[in-house]
Structure 1
């Protein structure tokens, strides 16, 4: 009798202090606990459970919980069902490890405003006694493996929509090295997008929400895609290339010249409106859908969001005259884009200035090129493209000795969310008393991304190096592309790249010493103003 009375008193005490909990609060916390257990609980992180099914089993119970205490009880019983976690003594290592902890924060497990004291203690115990063996769901180097594969993603099923969001959020939470640099806190992003996952306005809005979710990473390597996303935004493309300058879309070249001629599009045409909306307004409306580390990268990736449909009406300026017309858009296959680059690999410009196009130059070409340029006054390396892995080969000719140019971090798979500074990154250059002593000029812009930026970092440590151009894409390191769930694919950066002094490159990119951006007039005149400025610098050193 006394025992029953005591239990009743305890329960009454608990529930007198319980607080209502919203659906978004419950699901956000469930997402975080589910991901934490996936990578930390010894009996889960080793693959003992079908972890998707476990989520599907607990979600109805989470939905029934009305207060924070009821919710904590549901989660605690769930954890208890996973089996006992054994305590272990951490072995003291003599190895010094330089941790990068700007992303690492499990303090949410101790949120007593949401979790009961006993649940907080249980989560802390799991953290302290995490899996010691091989991770089942992630491999070193960040490869997501052993996920349940489904024949089809049922986007009509709320549980499947939640699964996709929970997977996506936790992949980023534990394995995106630049999470700390996002404009918006990643927890807030989860809370923001849960309602659009639970009750999407429409099928199209659901997929657009996932695109916005991806854009929140502020990573130019990030790219979310799904067939139904393209059903919502359109499958067709303009047959020409544009660059956004001064809130206008300027035609810079052609994806398909014959189709562009059919639509009477010329290089230098300045498009000011699409379907009676200004380019400025369209950029403002659509930038939330575009992945990019900085504004330059976002503008570079903006084209597909504002030129949509089978055809579209444009207002444009040609020869000072404002005109309007309707242009056609085409399926990707119909564009028949020829990606072959027949540009010269290297050549002399005026005044004994060497020029190398790193988009087509290969490592095998480097010795002959440097022999030809050895007595030049300067060499211009054009990196406004994606190079062919020539950075280390070129650097051997530009430096008198090996030089550090990068510092990297890798994920600590034993403690997901934490990163470790590499003990050693491969330096560039070699002992070379006969190194090239002329000016080294590097051309970069928003199309310089990833290996392009890594190449610029490599060559930038040469004794007389100068960077000319504009802000790069700000996404260095490995880009990992994978399926979140059947039919939903994405990518993001999975290891971190910094300068040797540990200064960030992500979002910032390679900063030019001399900033030069193309102008509308320069494009209309067929000029390469960045290259012109480089030639001027090669001539007079300023």
Structure 2
């Protein structure tokens, strides 16, 4: 009788402290616990369970839980079913490791607002006795592997929608080195987008929510893709290149010149409206869907602003100070027949004995002959407003009197996912070279300078007498990893971190020019390269 009374008392005591818990709160916590167990629990992280199936089994029980205590009990029983976690004594390493912990925070496992004390203790024990062997779901590098593949992604199935979100969120949570630099806390992003995953108002809104979700990374390397997005934004794009200046789109070049001639599109045309909407309004409407580390990178992305579901669009444009309207053709990518062959000169002399190298086409094999030709040049301009061909280390050998450190990198610590480690040593650039080039070195950069372009600028910047001219770069340095989250749904983001030797960030900030120069509408119309012109002026007078 006393035992029965004790049990009743305990139940009443427990229920008196239980709090209602919303579906969003339950699923956000479940997402975090599911991801934590996936990468920390020895029996899960080693691949002993079909982890998707485990999620599908636990979701109905999570849904049934009405209070925080009931929810905690569901998770506790689930964790117990995964098998015993053996305690171990961590070996004390004599190796000195420099950890990068700005992303690393598992304090949420101790949140008394959602988890019972006993559940928090279980989660803490798992953290302290985490997997010691090889990770089953992720390889050093980073590469996600051994995920269950499905014949198709059923977007009508709530469980599949949750699986997609849970996978996506946890990939970023544990393996995106710049998570701490996002505008919005990643936990809040999960809470914000869960309702649109649980009960999407429409199929279109669901896919748009995923595109927005990806944009929250604030990473120019990030890119979310799904065929359904083409149905929403359209598959037909413009046949010309455009640059956004003062909320107007200025034609700067041609993807296919013959197609542009059909609609009489000319370099310097100022497009002010598309289908009656101003370029500024189109940017405001679509900015939340565009992945970018900074605003310059966002404006450099023509999708979805210039895309449509029809093969024609009415534009309003200005030419010779006259405003007019006309209908232009739009094309699917395959019909643009873009010729990516770049026949530009690899290097040449400009006026006043100034060397110029176009790193978009220059190869490492070209570097010795180029530097021999430029050895007595007054200055050398390296144009990095493009994607270079891996010439940075080869060029640096001619620009430095000795090896120089130019970068500091971090890699994911797979023994404690979410934590990163500073590399002990990054490869320096340059070599012992008393005959190094002693003239001015000028680097040209802009929003098209991304990833390896920015890495190249960092490499060459450490040379004596180097000046960077141009505008903010894309602010996304490090390896870009593209992968399928689930069948037919793919994404990408940066997977290791790149910093300056003093550990100062490059992500989002980009390569900061010493002299800022941005193209103007008038300059484009007059056929000028104002950034290059400014570099030539600097080479002439040193200012």
Q: TM-score under structure 2 normalisation?
A: 0.99
- Counterparts of 1:130-529 in structure 2, within 5 Å, are 130-310=130-310, 311-529=312-530
Provide the C-alpha distance between the structure 1 equivalents of 2:307 and 2:170, rounded to a whole number of angstroms: 33
Q: Partners of 1:11 and 1:251 in 2: how far apart?
A: 72
Q: Residues of 1 paired with 2:86 and 2:388: CA distance?
A: 51
Q: Give me the whole-angstrom Cα distance separating, in 2, the residues matched to 1:273 and 1:238.
A: 14
In structure 2, what is the equivalent of residue 59 of structure 1? 59
2:114 maps to: 114
Structure 2 Cα separation of the partners of residues 302 and 259 of structure 1: 18
Q: Which residue of 1 aligns with 2:11?
A: 11
* Partners of 2:286 and 2:304 within 8 A in 1: no
Q: How far 1:307 sits from its partner (Å)? A: 3.4
Contact 2:403 2:431 in 1 (8 A): yes
Once the two structures are superposed, residues 414-453 of structure 1 have per-residue CA deviations (whole angstroms, 9 ceiling, x without a partner) of: 0000000000000000000000000000000000000000
Give, in whole Å, the separation in 2 of the partners of 1:151 and 1:497. Answer: 37
Superposition deviation, residue 168 in structure 1:
0.2
Distance 1:135 1:86 in 2: 17
Pair 1:71 & 2:75 matched: no
Contact residue 243 and residue 249 of structure 1 kept, 8 A? yes
Q: Which ranges of 4 or more aligned residues in structure 1 deviate by more than 2 Å?
A: 302-307
Contact map agreement 1:269 1:316 (CA 8 A) in 2:
yes
- 1:24 pairs with 2:37: no
- State the Cα distance separating 1:302 from its structure 2 match: 3.7
| 1:293 Cα deviation after fit | 0.3
TM-score (norm 1): 0.99
Aligned residues: 542
- 3-state DSSP class of the match of 2:532? helix
CA distance in 1, matches of 2:428, 2:266: 46
Provide the rounded CA distance (Å) in 2 between the counterparts of 1:237 and 1:284.
19
Judged with a 3 Å threshold, the aligned counterparts in structure 2 of structure 1 residues 526 and 303 are, in CA distance, closer, same or farther, namely: farther
For each residue in 1:97-119, what CA deviation from the matched residue of structure 2 results, as whole angstroms up to 9, or x when unmatched? Answer: 00000000000000001110100
Residues 1:38 and 2:38 aligned together = yes
2: distance between equivalents of 1:150 and 1:167?
Answer: 14
The answer as to whether partners of 1:309 and 1:329 remain within 8 angstroms in 2 is no
3-state SS, counterpart of residue 218 of structure 2: coil
1:93-144 superposed Cα distances (whole Å, 9 cap, x missing partner): 0000000000000000000011101001000000000000110000111110
CA distance in 2, matches of 1:304, 1:537: 38
Check the 8 A contact 1:175/1:416 in 2, yes or no: yes
Please report how far the alpha carbon of residue 487 of structure 1 lies from its aligned counterpart in structure 2 after TM superposition.
0.4
Moved more, 311-320 or 297-306: 297-306
Q: Secondary structure at the match of 2:47?
A: coil
Query: C-alpha separation between the residues in 1 aligned to 2:465 and 2:496?
Result: 30
Question: 2:487, 2:228 → 1: CA distance?
Answer: 12
Q: Secondary structure at the match of 1:330?
A: coil
Instruction: Please state how far the C-alpha of 1:309 moved relative to its aligned partner.
Output: 2.5
Q: 1:145-178: per-residue Cα shift (whole Å, max 9, x none)?
A: 0000001111110000000000000000000000
Aligned with 1:304: secondary structure?
coil
Query: How many Å separate the matches in 1 of 2:317 and 2:167?
Result: 44
Structure 2 Cα separation of the partners of residues 361 and 492 of structure 1: 27
Q: Distance in 2 between matches of 1:263 and 1:472?
A: 32
Secondary structure of the residue that 1:482 maps to in structure 2? strand
- SS of corresponding position for 1:44: helix
Q: Contact conserved, 1:242 with 1:303, CA < 8 A, in 2? A: no
Cα shift readout 1:26-45 (whole Å, capped 9, x = no counterpart): 00000000000000000000
What secondary structure does 1:440 align onto? strand
Q: Alpha-carbon deviation of 1:303?
A: 4.3
Q: Which runs of 5+ in 1 are unaligned?
A: none
Question: Would you say the 8 A contact 2:269–2:318 is kept in 1?
Answer: yes
Q: 1:172, 1:299 → 2: CA distance?
A: 24
Q: Measure, in 2, the Cα distance between the counterparts of 1:212 and 1:255.
A: 28
Give the SS at the match of 2:299: helix
Given that residues 232 and 309 in structure 2 are in contact (C-alpha distance below 8 angstroms), is that contact kept between their aligned partners in structure 1? no
